[in-house]
Amino acid sequence: MPLSGRAILITGASSGIGRGLCSEYVGAGARVYATGRNEVALAETIADLPEGSAVGIPADITTEAGRRAIATAIDHGGGTLDVVVHAAGLLGPPGVPLAAYPEEEWRSVFEVNVTSVHLLHQLLVTYLDSSTAPVVIGLSSTVGRQGRAGWGMYAVSKHALEGWLATLAHEFRGKVFSINPGGTRTPMRAVAVPGEDPATLPTASDIAPIFLRLAHSSAPEPTGALFDARDWIGSHPWEGLESP
C-alpha cells in the first residue's frame, strides 16, 4: 500500500473534504487520526472506515484543551506523525462586504482558519520531527489567492493561511504545501454558493489524487508549492513515486 506506515492527522474530518480524505488515506494504507468538534458526525466518519484504521478525536481546535486532546491521542498512538492535513475551516457569513462585516464573525473565522492552524502546528512539530518525511498541507481557496467581493474574512483568512504556509516552507524540516480544492460538493460550499447544483461539483474523493500524492514520503514536489486539486482529478496519485 503506497501510504502504509504513514500516520496522518486530518482536521475537519467530521464533514466534507476532511471526511472524504479520511477514507482515501485509509484506502491507501495510512493510519489516520481524524478530528472535528461534532462527536456524532465524527463517529459517522470513523464508522465508515475499516476497524482499527482510524482514531477519532473530538476536539475544538480553537481551544488549548482541544489541541492538547489531539496531541494526547497521537502520544497514545505511538507519538509519530508523518502528515497533517489542515482541512478544518469556517466560512463565516456569505456575501457580506468588508465594510459591514461583523466583528465577532471576523474574529472567529480567523481563529479557526489561521490562528488554530498555527497553534496546532506548534504542538505537533515534536511529533512531525519523528517522521523521516514530514508533510504539512493547508487547504486554501481560489479566494485565498485572488480577491473577490463578498467573501469577507474567509478570503482574508485564506490569504493569511497562504502567507503562513509560505513562511513555514522556509522554516520546516519537512515539506509544506497549499492545496486549493476548488468548488467541492460539501456542506460549506452549499452555504457559500446557494442555488448551485451540487451534482455539478467534484466530490472530495474526486479531488483526492493530489492530497494522496503529496502525503507520500517520496513525492518529488518542492516544499512551498501551490496546487489546484481540480488539475489533478483523474490522475494517478502514485505515478513516478518509489514504493514506501
Could you say whether residue 37 binds ligand NAP (CB under 6 A)? yes
Residues 210-229 that bind ligand NAP (CB under 6 A): none
DSSP 8-state code for residue 238: T
Q: What radius of gyration do the chain's Cα atoms show?
A: 17
Q: Which of 92, 181, 209, 237 binds ligand NAP (CB under 6 A)?
A: 181
Question: In angstroms, what is the minimal distance from the CB of 207 to ligand NAP?
Answer: 9
Extended beta strands in the chain, E state: 7-11, 31-36, 54-58, 83-86, 135-139, 175-180, 226-228
Phi, psi of 2 (to 5 degrees): -60, -35
Q: Does 18 bind ligand NAP (CB under 6 A)?
A: yes
Question: Shortest Cβ distance from residue 39 to ligand NAP (Å)?
Answer: 8
Angle, CA of 150, 36 and 145, to the nearest 5°: 30
Q: State residue 137 phi and psi, 5-degree precision.
A: -120, 125
**Is there binding between residue 134 and ligand NAP (CB under 6 A)?**
no
| 10 Ramachandran zone, left/alpha/beta (phi>0; psi -120 to 50) | beta
Burial of 28-49, coded b for 16+ CB within 10 Å and e otherwise, reads bebbbbbbbbeeeebeebbeeb
The DSSP 8-state label assigned to residue 172 in this structure reads -
- Interaction between residue 17 and ligand NAP (CB under 6 A): yes
- Assess whether 33 carries a catalytic annotation: no
Nearest-angstrom CA–CA distance, 93 and 188? 11
CB 230 within 8 A of CB 182: yes
For position 41 contacting ligand NAP by CB under 6 A, the verdict is yes
**Which residue has the CB atom at the shortest distance from ligand NAP?**
16
Counting contacts by CB under 6 A, is residue 45 touching ligand NAP? no
Question: Could you say which of 6, 31, 67, 189 contacts ligand NAP (CB under 6 A)?
Answer: 189
DSSP character at residue 37: S
Q: Which of 61, 165, 168, 207 binds ligand NAP (CB under 6 A)?
A: 61
Of the residues 184, 207, 208, 215, which one makes contact with ligand NAP according to CB under 6 A: 184
> Is residue 62 a contact point for ligand NAP (CB under 6 A)?
yes
User: In this chain, which stretch among 73-81, 127-135, 177-185, 235-243 interacts with ligand NAP, using CB under 6 A?
Assistant: 177-185
| Active-site position among 25, 33, 127, 154 | 154
Cβ 159 to ligand NAP, closest distance in Å? 12
Q: Which residues are part of the catalytic machinery?
A: 154
Binding residues for ligand NAP (CB under 6 A): 11-12, 14-18, 36-38, 41, 60-62, 87-90, 112, 139, 141, 181, 183-184, 186-189
